[in-house]
Structure 1
Amino acid sequence: MLKAELRKKYMQKRKALSSDEAFLLSEKIFENFVDCFKPLSGQKVHIFIPIEKFSEIDTQIFINYFLSWNIKVFVPKIVDAKLISVEIFNDTKFQTNTWGISEPVSNEDSGENDFSYVITPLLYCDKKGNRVGYGKGFYDVFFENISSGTKKIGVNYFGPDENIDDVRQNDIPLDYLVTPTEVLSFFNGSE
């Protein structure tokens, strides 16, 4: 299927979930992430703040866990049409931007590019790790500038069913996908 068709299909599937269903599925995704990756104190994680109106995975569960285990947390913020990485803490002040996304008040780019994990928003991911987001390409550019050892991890309520037929040359695939029922690796058996 084409990205535009998949984007529409999975946006509708996501909106069909009740808020209780979405929260329970988010908890299962979180548990699968922790069971598989076993994050440790001192590691660095870049993770998105969910867009409520798009029923995204509740990443606040992850953020609370990371901060309580002294794992450094960085979140994306779009400044001058570029995704930057802002470090957050328990007392970080947030504001809602024009797209309805909660983001740190600070515009200070951490300059960090050596993360343990980048937990990535998406609408769909196929069996090769290709993803469909909202079509702006921010994460492809971001992925080009992070260390090669960083694990790029997508989180989604749904597993892969269809292939994405219009993958572009500059699309950067994920390394893993975490769903409520499984963790998929796209390394073809090697890591």
Structure 2
Amino acid sequence: MLKAEIRKKYMQKRKALSTDEAFLLSEKIFKNFINYFQPKEGEKVHVFIPILERNEINTQIFIDYFLKQNIRVFVPKIVADELINIEIFADTLFETSAWGIPEPVSNEDSGESYFHYVITPLLYCDDKGNRVGYGKGFYDAFFESVSSEVKKIGVNYFNPDEMIDDVWENDIPLDYLVTPTDVLSFLNGLE
């Protein structure tokens, strides 16, 4: 399928989930992430803040856990059409962007380029790690700017069941996909 078709299909599937279903599935995804990766104190995690009105994975569960475990948390913010990384803390102030995304008030880029994990938003991921997002390309550019050792991890309610036909040469595949039932690796034994 083409990305545009996949985007439409999976936005509809996600929209069909009730608030309770989305939260319960998000909890399962969170537990699978923690059990598989076992993040440790002092590690650095870059994680998106969910747009709950779009039924995105509730990563606030992840963020709360990371902060309690003294795992450093960085979140994206779009400034001048560029994704920057801002480190957040329990007392960080947030405001809602024009896109409806809660973002830190600060525009100070952390300058970090190495993260142990980058938890990536998406609408769909195929069984090769190719992702379909909202089509703005922010994460492909972001992946090019960070260390090649970063674990790029997608989170999704749905397992891969169809191929993306129009993958572009600049698309950067994920290393892992975490769903409510599985953690899939696309590294082909390179771990």
> Which amino acid in structure 1 is aligned with residue 68 of structure 2?
S
Deviation at residue 53 of structure 1 after TM alignment? 2.0
Query: Aligned pair 1:63/2:63, yes or no?
Result: yes
C-alpha deviation, 1:76, in angstroms: 0.2
Distance in 2, matches of 1:119 and 1:12, equals 22
1:85 pairs with 2:77: no
Would you say 1:113 and 2:98 are equivalent positions?
no
Separation (CA, whole Å) in 2 of partners of 1:186 and 1:89: 32
Q: TM-score, normalised by structure 1?
A: 0.99
C-alpha distance in 2 between matches for 1:177 and 1:150: 14
2:122 aligns to what? 122
Distance 2:190 2:117 in 1: 18
Amino acid at match of 2:87: E
- For the residue of structure 2 that corresponds to 1:177, the secondary structure is strand
Give the TM-score normalised by structure 2: 0.99
Contiguous gaps of at least 5 residues in structure 2: none
Structure 1 position 14 matched with structure 2 position 14 = yes
Instruction: Give the deviation of 1:190 after TM superposition.
Output: 2.8
- Return the offset for 1:99: 1.0
Partner SS for 1:58: coil
Residue correspondence of structure 1 range 164-175 to structure 2 within 5 A? 164-175=164-175
- Say how many residue pairs are matched: 191
State the alpha-carbon separation in 1 of the partners of residues 106 and 77 from structure 2.
9
Distance 2:105 2:187 in 1: 37
Whether 1:32 aligns to 2:32 is: yes
State the distance in 1 between where 2:190 and 2:109 align. Answer: 33
State the SS of the aligned residue for 2:154. strand
CA distance in 1, matches of 2:190, 2:139: 24
Give the percent of matched residue pairs that are identical in Structure 1 and Structure 2. Answer: 75
Cα distance in structure 1, aligned partners of 2:84 and 2:65: 23
Q: Describe the superposition over 1:80-130 as per-residue Cα deviations: whole angstroms up to 9, x where unpaired.
A: 000000000000000001111100000000000110000000000000000
> Deviation above 4 Å: which 4+ runs of structure 1?
none
Q: What SS is found at the alignment partner of 2:66?
A: helix
What is the aligned partner in structure 2 of residue 141 from structure 1?
A: 141
Aligned to 2:72: 72
Q: Hey, what's the Cα distance between the residues in 1 that align with 2:93 and 2:112?
A: 20
Please state how far the C-alpha of 1:52 moved relative to its aligned partner: 1.7
Question: What RMSD, in angstroms, separates the aligned Cα atoms of the two structures?
Answer: 0.5
How far does residue 19 in structure 1 lie from its aligned partner after superposition? 0.3
Q: In structure 1, what is the Cα distance between the partners aligned to 2:189 and 2:182? A: 16
Hey, what does 1:182 align to over in structure 2? 182
Partner of residue 3, structure 1: 3
